[in-house]
């Protein structure tokens, strides 16, 4: 590890904890965060692996042509790449590829928000008029503003998750998989 991650005993308040931090605390934290980022990508990539051509129009809308190439590639990057990040296999190049993809996703969520409301004026009238019979009380309360507050929450969640995943992937692209990774434990090398 680099000096940035060392725990010099003379600079610690509790010097006797240094070996614990070096041998357990830091590697465990590193592996836990790597597994979290990787499995989040696997989870989000699973539907895309099941339908690898489902995002052809979406990627072409982002000017990635041909969509039949990019859609399955992105599904593989997210699902297989997420698994590789989780176990720490070829961590840096795979995390870099995913960080670029996730940065584009973050940009997309910011540049193309979900909108102000998803109910039309007619839908809001239906909600207010016959809402008590057509909708549950919780739905009436949640949709009273046409879905504006709900969509605001969805937008914030999409941007925040994209930011966390982009940052996590960029972190592992920069620093590698850590001590408890396949790269270090079995391959004995890092990129």
pLDDT tens digit at each of 191 positions of the chain: 455 577 888 888 999 998 898 889 999 999 999 999 999 999 999 999 999 999 999 899 888 999 999 999 999 999 999 999 999 999 999 999 999 999 998 998 888 887 776 667 777 777 667 655 667 777 777 777 777 888 888 889 989 999 999 999 999 999 999 989 999 999 888 77
Looking at the domain assignment, is residue 156 inside a domain?
Answer: yes
Whole-angstrom distance, CA of residue 123 vs CA of residue 130: 10
Looking at the domain assignment, is residue 4 inside a domain?
Answer: no
List, in order, residues 6 or more apart from 165 with CB less than 8 Å away. Answer: 37, 40, 41, 102, 105
- Domain of residue 90: give its range: 28-187
Looking at the domain assignment, is residue 66 inside a domain?
Answer: yes
Q: Is the dihedral of CA 90, 169, 175, 11 positive or negative?
A: negative
Looking at the domain assignment, is residue 172 inside a domain?
Answer: yes
What is the count of structural domains for the chain? 1
- Determine the pLDDT at residue 151: 84
Looking at the domain assignment, is residue 48 inside a domain?
Answer: yes
Looking at the domain assignment, is residue 6 inside a domain?
Answer: no
Looking at the domain assignment, is residue 165 inside a domain?
Answer: yes
Looking at the domain assignment, is residue 13 inside a domain?
Answer: no
């Amino acid at each position: 590890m680099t000096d940035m991650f060392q725990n010099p005993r003379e600079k610690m308040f509790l010097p006797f904890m240094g070996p614990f931090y070096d041998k357990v605390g830091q590697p465990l934290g590193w592996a836990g965060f790597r597994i979290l980022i990787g499995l989040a990508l696997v989870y989000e990539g699973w539907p895309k692996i099941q339908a690898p051509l489902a995002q052809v129009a979406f990627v072409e809308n982002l000017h990635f042509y041909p969509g039949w190439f990019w859609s399955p590639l992105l599904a593989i990057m997210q699902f297989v790449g997420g698994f590789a990040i989780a176990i720490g296999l070829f961590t840096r190049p795979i995390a870099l590829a995913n960080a670029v993809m996730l940065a584009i996703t973050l940009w997309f969520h910011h540049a193309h928000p979900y909108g102000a409301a998803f109910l039309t004026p007619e839908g809001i009238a239906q909600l207010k008029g016959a809402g008590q019979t057509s909708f549950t009380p919780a739905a009436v309360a949640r949709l009273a503003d046409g879905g504006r507050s709900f969509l605001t929450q969805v937008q914030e969640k999409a941007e925040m998750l994209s930011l966390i995943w982009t940052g996590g992937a960029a972190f592992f692209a920069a620093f590698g998989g850590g001590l408890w990774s396949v790269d270090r434990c079995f391959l004995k090398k890092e990129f």
